[in-house]
């Protein structure tokens, strides 16, 4: 088992020495390594069983550290960083030579963000290096929103787990490529598209592709519980067929009597629902049910990202032929 630490200085030493440190951000827990160290980055791919074609996000302590790393920023990139960092927005920039290609899976571009979590920024600052960090889960599985999810999923593959309690947003950052004339959203996430549009005008939302993904986190089969998950709309199937089902409700528990029920937001708030999504799915996954039924959230604000993750979780399961 990895050591449970609240020592930022020790964790920073581990990063500098080429080790892996799982740390909380406002979105999900990240699995961090020194982004300047190709061997350390390689350990991330190994620990997650992550395919080498799926590039990592580099994390910085301060927005001011980005121009120092990559030079002059395209105007919209600079505007978005200024407006939303620290925060749940990942921006695409040109990869600087100092970042080894393994971090970006060979791409000439690099994903980068400044997390809005004091301990994460203190860790990165203390390490004195940019920190490459994907979500701290095994590839394709549910993202971790609590330290115990990291320990359960990655165990001894991680040198240190910093426990900052449950994460605030609960869902990954929004990824935007703003280098061109119109920003392109590559992954829906914790920063609402409406907020992006209010800041920089119209954006294009790239639909997820399971072919040649620009952001492989947008592969169809991703963010999935182990239990098959099915999206339900409207009438909920009766559960008197002997099958133990889990039910993920958006606002109100269903009338049908399911083995395990999670309600994401009794107040009907999409932000609260996002914050609870992965935690609820982790619990339903552990509830010993045969199938999870999930209601979509309203398709607005962060609700879009909730529905994106539910759609991907459902995509991993095909219904039996009729």
Which positions lie near Mg ion, rule CB under 5 A?
A: 135
Instruction: Find the shortest distance in angstroms from Cβ 54 to Mg ion.
Output: 8
Measured from the CB atom, is 105 or 239 closer to ligand TXA? 105
- Kindly provide the residue ranges of all beta strands, DSSP E only, lying in the chain, ordered along the sequence: 3-5, 21-23, 30-34, 57-59, 89-94, 109-113, 131-132, 160-162, 174-177, 184-187, 204-205, 229-231, 245-249, 260-263, 291-294
Considering CB distances under 5 to 8 angstroms, the limit depending on partner class, which of Mg ion, ligand TXA, none binds residue 54?
ligand TXA
Decide: is 92 part of the binding site for ligand TXA (CB under 6 A).
yes
141 near ligand TXA, judged by CB under 6 A: no
Q: How far is the CB of 65 from ligand TXA (least distance, A)?
A: 15
Q: Which helix (H) or strand (E) holds 198?
A: helix 193-200
Measured from each CB, the residue nearest to Mg ion is: 135
Cα-Cα-Cα-Cα dihedral sign, residues 6, 276, 30, 197: negative
User: Min. distance of Cβ 214 from ligand TXA in angstroms?
Assistant: 5
Residue 112: closest CA among 137, 77, 155: 77
Q: Which is nearer to ligand TXA, 209 or 290 (CB)?
A: 209
Of 72-80, 214-222, 263-271, 298-306, which part binds ligand TXA (CB under 6 A)? 214-222
**Cα dist from 8 to 131, 132, 164, 256, whole Å:** 14, 17, 11, 47
Question: Which of Mg ion, ligand TXA, none does residue 307 bind to, with CB < 5 to 8 Å depending on kind?
Answer: none
Of 12 and 133, the one with the shorter C-beta distance to ligand TXA is 133
SS3 271: helix
54 binds ligand TXA per the rule CB under 6 A:
yes
Verify cis geometry, omega within 30 degrees of 0, for the bond prior to 48.
no
Please name the residues in contact with 273: beta carbons below 8 A apart, sequence gap of 6 or more: 250, 264, 265, 297, 302, 303, 306
- Which residue's beta carbon is nearest to the bound ligand TXA? 217
CA distance 270 to 309: 13
Rounded Cα gap, residues 74 and 174, in angstroms: 18
List binders of ligand TXA among 158-177 (CB under 6 A): 172-173, 175
CA angle (297, 301, 304) in 5-degree steps: 50
Minimum CB distance to ligand TXA smaller for 71 or for 268: 71
When CB distances are held under 5 to 8 angstroms depending on the partner's kind, the choice from ligand TXA, Mg ion, none that residue 25 binds is ligand TXA
Closest to Mg ion by CB, 173 or 271: 173
Token digits for 160?
């240190």
Kindly tell me which residue out of 215, 261, 306, 315 binds ligand TXA, with binding defined by CB under 6 A.
Answer: 215
Binding site for ligand TXA (CB under 6 A): 25, 27-28, 30, 54-57, 90, 92, 104, 107, 109-111, 115, 133-135, 172-173, 175, 186, 214-217
């Amino acid at each position: 088992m990895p050591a449970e630490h609240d020592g930022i200085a020790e964790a920073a030493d581990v990063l500098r020495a080429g080790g892996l440190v799982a740390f909380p951000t406002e979105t999900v827990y990240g699995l961090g390594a020194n982004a300047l160290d190709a061997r350390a980055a390689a350990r991330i791919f190994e620990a997650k069983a992550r395919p080498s074609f799926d590039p990592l996000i580099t994390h910085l302590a301060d927005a001011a550290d980005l121009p120092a790393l990559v030079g002059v920023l395209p105007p919209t990139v600079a505007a978005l960083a200024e407006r939303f960092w620290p925060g749940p927005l990942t921006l695409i920039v040109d990869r600087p030579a100092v970042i080894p290609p393994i971090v970006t899976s060979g791409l000439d571009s690099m994903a980068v963000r400044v997390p809005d979590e004091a301990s994460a920024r203190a860790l990165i600052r203390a390490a004195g290096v940019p920190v490459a960090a994907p979500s701290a889960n095994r590839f394709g599985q549910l993202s971790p929103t609590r330290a115990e999810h990291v320990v359960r999923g990655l165990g001894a593959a991680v040198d240190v787990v910093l426990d900052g309690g449950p994460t605030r947003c609960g869902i990954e950052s929004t990824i935007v490529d703003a280098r061109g004339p119109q920003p392109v959203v590559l992954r829906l996430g914790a920063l609402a598209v409406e907020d992006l549009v209010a800041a920089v005008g119209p954006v294009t939302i790239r639909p997820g592709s399971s072919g040649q993904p620009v952001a492989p986190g947008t592969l169809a089969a991703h963010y999935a519980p182990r239990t098959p998950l099915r999206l339900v709309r409207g009438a909920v199937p009766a559960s008197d067929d002997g099958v133990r089902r889990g039910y993920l409700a958006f606002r109100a528990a269903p009338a049908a009597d399911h083995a395990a029920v999670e309600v994401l937001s009794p107040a009907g708030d999409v932000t609260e629902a996002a914050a609870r999504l992965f935690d609820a799915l982790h619990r339903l996954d552990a509830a010993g049910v045969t199938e999870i039924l999930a209601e979509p959230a309203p398709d607005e604000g962060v609700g879009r990202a909730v529905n994106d993750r539910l759609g991907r979780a459902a995509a991993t399961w095909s219904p039996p032929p009729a």
